Structure 1
């Protein structure tokens, strides 16, 4: 995975802090929308620690990256991804869609993410 969107998804699924920090520009406009809250931060550390690691907490284990789709919408990059996540409360499917811009160094300078929330799978064997 060499494109920024795919690298972001892989780093997020692995909770690879160093890789995540390296994806974002030193000043970033990050906005997120989850079912219960709007999020806005402006530094890579805040994106990772205060948003992404709140969405995917330490006990949330990404068991599988089920889908990744990257592309462009005119001048804006796009990545859609779906995770299978397990935690103490069960097994879930989570889908997110991110639109982002890159700076001249190829780092994310703006990202807008919308999250489905953790959708419970009735049967843990459901694919």
Structure 2
């Protein structure tokens, strides 16, 4: 089985694994391809979560409790109210990634709209 990209192998009839992400991706298969593959997205939150926060560089990961392929509107504002990002994105593996490398150090307002519900987060770029 694979949980969040890490492979586990067992012959036991049960196994306990730590779910360490807001949205966890599980894939279970046997040695026999003809038995198929079971996949499941396990969500531990009812609202989107933006991590890491504060962020130094790289991708801000917005975990969204929704089916893969669903769409969310992402908007980013400076603290003076200037719109810096406004786009509709598709959820992939329970998350949306926003690359923060092009943003200066400071505080930003992130709005995530999903199913007509608005979620707002203060993001700190160090």
User: So what's the TM-score if we normalise by structure 2?
Assistant: 0.33
Higher relative contact order structure (alpha carbons within 8 Å, sequence separation ≥ 6): 1
Structure whose alpha-carbon radius of gyration is higher: 2
Task: Pick the structure with more helix per residue.
Answer: 1
User: So what's the TM-score if we normalise by structure 1?
Assistant: 0.33
